[in-house]
Structure 1
Amino acid sequence: MLKVWIDAGHGGKDPGAVANGIQEKDIALKVSLGIKERLEETYEDVQVLLSRSTDVFLELRDRTAKANAAGADVLVSIHCNAGGGKGGFESFRYTSASQNSIKLQETLHKAIMSKLGGIDRGQKSKNLHMVRESRMPAVLTENLFVDVVADADCLKQASVIKTIIEGHVLGIAAYLGLTSKLMEVQPVKPRDINIVSKWAETAWRDMSERGYFDGQRPGSPITREEVAVLLSRIL
């Protein structure tokens, strides 16, 4: 069972960035809860653990301490941005990140951008507590800007929140190599009505030779009219 630690930034007395009727802590919690639900619902052998599942305040050291103690395989810290001019999405790893953290960032960033679109502010590194003190591959995502009107309008839409969630889920699943619970449906090959089934070959040949059938289209559905003709011939 692989463990994914999702950290909803801020919370409680710490609202994070606030603008345009949005509090960062609320968006971070919605996205985090959505990631947990979708990952566990869609993929095999994965458990999602949360720093917080309600609007409570947690110190940064408590967040990473819990993730480390749980032995999580990856950590993703969810945030929104502010003060960014045109807005957009960006992600962060630690300045001296491991190769696995770099790979996680690349995979996650590309998956989110493929779903979200818009302005890509790039994959960056910074001395942030959540990615520095985590013992597992760790990435912090900044999902649009609350103080950019266009971004804020997007964050107020349930469809955009869903898209952000899906991007994170796809990235995490790809990095961990998770197996989907949904079995691939194989397309049904259309039957050739001119070829008789093996189990019916003898009967079809016999009845055709007797004149009850014309020997054509053995796999075709039969109509009420054709049934009447067949019964007439038999009688």
Structure 2
Amino acid sequence: MKKVWIDAGHGGKDPGAVGNGLQEKVIALTVSLGVKQRLEDEYEGVQVHLSRSTDVFLELDERTDAANKAGADLLVSIHCNAGGGAGGFESFRYTNASAASRSLQNVLHTEIMAALKPFGVIDRGQKAANLHMCRESKMPAVLTENLFIDVASDAVKLKRQEVIDALIAGHVAGIAKYLGLKRKEGKPMTKERDINVVSSWAAPAWEAATKDGLFDGSRPGAPFTREEAAAVLLRMEKNILEKLKAK
């Protein structure tokens, strides 16, 4: 049984990067939970442990101590970036990383970028830095920076469920390839999204839009047609006019 440790960056009182209506801690947790679910559901002989499965704060040494104690075969710390100009995806290993960590980074980075290719995400490359999560982990360890919260073009992507799904799929594919995991019989490569369930990152906006009468509250994950967009724009115009009249 292979043990995978997934570390969702930040959490609780530490939101991480914040911008464009997004919080790093929320995206990191969403991707981490998705990676755990897909790896365990689709592959044989793997057990995924999480630093956190809810919105709680943990010190860095608590995270690496737990991973080391568990005897994990690899660690991936999941984050989003900030302050990067044009944005994009990048991955990090420790400056004096082992050959195993270098191999993990290469496979993971390649698979994530392949999954993100349809969305035009910039590849910022594989990098090395003196990061706690990579330095203090006794197993091969990589930290991923999954787009930039404060770059408008990246933020738009991070608000799309299909991009979140691609990030999850890329992490899963990279981990499975590195560990040589065998796919369970009869399991598809991807899962269809339940269009009747709202994504966690979009829940507040969906609730507000429904309350304002822009949507009827059903099928939050369904595709959006131009005729539906026209209807929503008319409803928005009506709402604005009514609010102006009320002043």
TM-score above 0.5: yes
Matching of residues 196-211 of structure 1 within 5 Å? none
- Offset of 1:28 from its aligned partner? 0.1
Unaligned stretches of 5+ residues in structure 2: 189-247
- Write the distance in 2 (CA, Å) between the matches of 1:184 and 1:26: 28
- Write the distance in 1 (CA, Å) between the matches of 2:35 and 2:105: 16
- Write the distance in 1 (CA, Å) between the matches of 2:187 and 2:131: 41
Structure-1 residue corresponding to 2:81: 81
Which of structure 1's runs of 4+ aligned residues deviate more than 4 A?
Answer: none
Structure-2 residue corresponding to 1:169: 172
Deviation track 1:118-158 (CA, whole Å, cap 9, x = no partner) reads 20000000000000000000000000000010100111111
Matching of residues 3-42 of structure 1 within 5 Å? 3-42=3-42
Structure-2 residue corresponding to 1:158: 161
- Write the distance in 1 (CA, Å) between the matches of 2:187 and 2:142: 31
Q: 2:182 aligns with which of 179, 204, 207?
A: 179
Counterpart amino acid of 1:28?
A: A
Structure-1 residue corresponding to 2:135: 132
- Write the distance in 2 (CA, Å) between the matches of 1:151 and 1:129: 26
- Offset of 1:184 from its aligned partner? 8.8
- The Cα RMSD (Å) is 1.1
Matching of residues 188-227 of structure 1 within 5 Å? none
Kept in 1: contact 2:42–2:187 (CA 8 A) = no
Matched, 1:94 2:94: yes
The SS at the match of 2:150 is: coil
- Write the distance in 1 (CA, Å) between the matches of 2:53 and 2:142: 19
The SS at the match of 1:11 is: coil
- Write the distance in 1 (CA, Å) between the matches of 2:35 and 2:66: 19
| Structure possessing the higher radius of gyration over alpha carbons | 1
- Write the distance in 1 (CA, Å) between the matches of 2:158 and 2:57: 22
Equivalent residues, number = 185
The SS at the match of 2:167 is: helix
- Write the distance in 2 (CA, Å) between the matches of 1:41 and 1:83: 36
Identity of aligned residues (%): 70
Structure-1 residue corresponding to 2:104: 104
The SS at the match of 1:53 is: coil
- Write the distance in 1 (CA, Å) between the matches of 2:185 and 2:100: 28
Structure-2 residue corresponding to 1:206: none
The SS at the match of 2:6 is: strand
The SS at the match of 1:78 is: strand
The SS at the match of 1:121 is: strand
Structure-2 residue corresponding to 1:228: none
Kept in 1: contact 2:81–2:147 (CA 8 A) = yes
- Write the distance in 2 (CA, Å) between the matches of 1:159 and 1:123: 24
TM-score (norm 2): 0.74
- Write the distance in 2 (CA, Å) between the matches of 1:109 and 1:133: 21
Deviation track 1:83-130 (CA, whole Å, cap 9, x = no partner) reads 000000000000000000000000000000001122000000000000
Distance 1:69 1:86, change over 3 A: same
The SS at the match of 2:12 is: coil
